Amino acid sequence: MQDVNDLRPFISVEDAADLLDIHPRTIRRAIKRGDVRARRFGRCIRVESSTLFGDAFGQEVTS
């Protein structure tokens, strides 16, 4: 697993899904539920890296 400090502040939904080894649709549902913070830049949705590892997906935070 990558170190949280090595990640960019915002990453694509697809990159987030690859990091967590889950489907991008799962990330989008988590965003819709409010479990993962994300921002829209034009037509692109970018996920806040700091919210990926935590209770939303049961991943361990490493720093």
User: Mind listing the pLDDT tens digit for each residue in 20-44?
Assistant: 999 999 999 999 999 899 999 999 9
- Please indicate whether residue 26 or residue 51 has the higher confidence score (pLDDT): 26
5 inside domain: no
Domain that holds residue 45: 10-53
The overall pTM is greater than 0.75: no
23 inside domain: yes
Q: For residue 36, which of 57, 9, 22, 15 has the smallest C-alpha distance?
A: 57
3 inside domain: no
CA pseudo-torsion sign 5, 19, 55, 62: negative
> How many structural domains does the chain have?
1
Confidence at 3, pLDDT banded by 50, 70, 90: low
